[in-house]
Amino acid sequence: MRVVVGLLLLLLGLCGSGAQGEAGGLGEVAEINQNTDPKHAAEESTEQTTKQTTCDIWTELRALRDMVVELNVHVELLQRENSVQATELVSLESRLTSSESKTRDLEKENADLQTRLNSSESRIDQLETENAEKPKVAFYAALTDARTLGPYNTDITLKYSKVFTNIGNAYNPSTGFFTAPVKGVYNLQFTVFGYNAGSTGVYVYKNNQRIMGDWDNNYNMFQKYFTKSLVLELKAGDEIHLVLPSGHSIYDDIYNHSTYSGSLLFTL
């Protein structure tokens, strides 16, 4: 743009010099040859035309100069706007880069969370599978609706015939025996109720060995309760049953006073 302005100014200078030279020469010729012949009038007319043309050229050149100046100002304004836009573009690029970095971080965190979630789901599935494979053993039964049993002159096995829970079918109400299905630790509990009886009691047998006995006298009381519990380590196939000792009685009816229950705590 500066080169264009320089060329215009140079052109203006040359045109001005030419116009002055022509004007001076014509003036001298006019003074020497004034009113000498008809050619003089034609030359004067030509001189005036040249001067007018020169003035027109000057006018056009000034207009062009003004246009160039205006264009130069416009270009500078555009350059400034361009600079501002370039600065904004750099800022936007920086923000975009930061956003992309945050996006990558979030994607990585999401991937880590998804991995942990998959691991947790896998662990849950594993635990559910292990839990499903573990044996489940629990039973609860009441003795009878026949009310008083005993006393007898011999020990008899108590058959708790009213079964309410028998998960794993480890308890047999027909025999009164609980059979451990797997090696583990079991919790067993029984409640004995005596009603208007001289003595009430029970023995606990593991296989053919008596491992516990408990009884109480009821001469001066109308009703008598006692409850016992055991935690036993049993092998698969071990049997537990309760026995009513000879000379003792036990009572039960629709209200289920005398009960027997057990469950597997954990396997070994």
Query: What whole-number distance in Å separates Cα of residue 34 and Cα of residue 108?
Result: 102
- Per residue in 188-247, pLDDT (tens digit) is 999 998 887 678 889 999 999 999 988 777 666 667 788 899 999 999 999 999 999 999
- Whether a cis peptide bond, with omega within 30° of 0, leads into 151 is yes
Identify which of 164, 158, 145 has the alpha carbon closest to the alpha carbon of residue 190. 158
Secondary structure (3-state) at 201: strand
The CATH class of 138-267 is mainly beta
CB distance 142 to 164 below 8 Å:
yes
- Per residue in 99-115, pLDDT (tens digit) is 888 888 898 888 888 88
What lies within 8 Å, CB to CB, of 263 at 6+ separation is 137, 138, 139, 186, 187
Query: What whole-number distance in Å separates Cα of residue 244 and Cα of residue 38?
Result: 170
What lies within 8 Å, CB to CB, of 69 at 6+ separation is 5
- Per residue in 54-88, pLDDT (tens digit) is 777 888 888 888 888 888 888 888 888 888 888 88
